[in-house]
Amino acid sequence: MDFDAIVVGAGLAGLVATVEIADAGKRVLLLDQEPEASFGGQAWWSFGGLFLVNSPEQRRLGIKDSQELAWQDWQGSAGFDREGDEDYWGRKWAEAYVEFASGEKREWLYALGIRFFPVVGWAERGGYLADGHGNSVPRFHIVWGTGPGIVEPFEKRVRAHMANGLVVYRSRHRVNELIQSGGAITGVRGSVLVASTAARGEESSREAIGEFEYQAQAVIVSSGGIGANHELIRQYWPSRLGEAPKRMLSGVPAHVDGRLLAITEQSGGRIVNRDRMWHYTEGIKNWNPVWHNHGIRILPGPSSIWLDARGQRFPAPNFPGFDTLGTLETIQKSGYDYSWFILTQKIIEKEFALSGSEQNPDLTGKSIRKVLSRALPGAMAPVQSFMDKGEDFVVAPTLAELVAGMNALTEEKLLDFDHIERQIKARDREIAHPFTKDLQITAIRGARHYIGDKLIRVAKPHRLLDPANGPLIAVRLNIVSRKTLGGLQTNLSGRVLNQAGEAIPGLYAAGEASGFGGGGLHGYRALEGTFLGGCLFTGRVVGRAVASELNKSQSNS
């Protein structure tokens, strides 16, 4: 054998698995089709949010959390309903992950040098009954240093093993085939691609200049999902979410195309839950794109008025930050694939953040001074850049001018000023007293009972049409593709299963390629902070399982 193990994909899950195997003294070949500039994959671009349960950060803020409550929330969100088949292993991975997030996850990361922003975010708030979708309490822990801060300790350890000879890393190596022998996967074949100077995230050439073949006792597929392959997204789009969007932005680079998933399936691996996916509804086109059709997600607080393409306010609980897929379904069933926020300057200053490491230079750069500047008047600099240069923003002193600007952004001119004015005036009347039947206002007031939201996330309720709170701002919101919730079905060791439910010898999967564990540990919906966490967890579990199996086989030989 050329190596003890081969890891295909140098994203977060692949790096974690590589480290675990090399830490056990085994030789690992780490392959990736992209240039070395893209080391760390999608995780590098992330906001760096992690799902933790009963953490010190929560306790300091008075948040009472528990594994029992987290599992209740997980089940209510996942909605597992294929438990005899496609959800069988996903549910088991979910139970194991919630236990991990409630126990050693934070201690393990802390020992690696990872630290957290002190204010815990409240993502996916739900808005249904106690046992339905959503986080009952804030659990979104932002890593100090965002995505790069998560990648860094694992990259350092991989590079240390590269220096000591236990890891060989080869970029521009594109796997075309999994080698099979005697029913087992014993290696990989593929093409060496031409050298590329493409920067991180930029599309790179697919021109082949050579071939390769390597043998190993274990092959780990950690190549991500299908987020940039809009054709596949539309092919597997579930009817329960309405019609597939005719137009989407891409929240991930072009290489996230599902190609290796298809190759693994051809080698006998079973892909399950193809119809489960996670796309965001608050996408804006990047005025300074890194990849084609580059979309950025707004991370909104709960106060913006959310209207469909015709200017009709969405019903409860389709409020910003409450139920991503529920709102996606509502938007798609409206017959249009875009929607609108209307808000004020006061709201954008307090409530708007943008997803992505590059959109949060203060947190990514670990600058306390710059983080504190978020409390100063004015929108954050990256948000202000979108207001000034982004094609999806309209700013105006009056509602009439705002609606005219909104209509100017679309060919159809569907918005009626009188209709929108009536809805916003009705909403504003509810602010004038401590009582309300408007559930969004109830939600805003409820959110401000949490000190984290009151300090930095949720604006004080105010009348949108009061000029003192202006100017008015409208944002056209697009669907932005992101995550694949289904994937290769794996057992609790990360072994890929075939159609008969049997483990394929020598073949493992981790990260998004495995549906973040078992072919879909999220079920239908995510609680957020669970994608990076799923990559960390599956990479760790698979790496340790492979190392253990290698130790057994080598001691018996």
The Cα–Cα gap between 83 and 94 comes to: 12
User: Is residue 504 classed as helix, strand or coil in its secondary structure?
Assistant: strand
Closest CA to 88 of 531, 509, 492: 492
The pLDDT of residue 154: 98
Mean pLDDT by 10 residues, the chain (557 residues): 94 98 98 98 97 98 98 98 96 98 98 97 96 98 97 98 98 98 97 97 97 98 98 97 96 97 98 98 98 97 98 97 97 97 97 95 92 84 96 98 97 95 98 95 97 94 97 98 97 98 98 98 98 98 98 81
The pLDDT of residue 557: 67
Closest CA to 506 of 270, 215, 266, 271: 215
The Cα–Cα gap between 221 and 272 comes to: 16
Tell me the H-state helices in 281-374.
324-332, 345-351, 361-364, 368-372
Closest CA to 328 of 444, 477, 475: 477
Tokens 């004020």: give the residue.
Answer: 344
Task: Please name the amino acid found at residue 155.
Answer: E
Closest CA to 529 of 34, 77, 9, 177: 77
Tokens 């079905």: give the residue.
Answer: 489
pLDDT in tens, 110-134: 999 999 999 999 999 999 999 999 9
The pLDDT of residue 444: 97
DSSP 8-state class, residue 125? -
Q: pTM here?
A: 0.97
State the angle between helix axes of 88-102 and 531-556 in degrees (0 to 180), rounded to the nearest 10. Answer: 100
pLDDT in tens, 363-378: 999 999 888 888 778 8
The pLDDT of residue 305: 98
Task: Please name the amino acid found at residue 534.
Answer: G
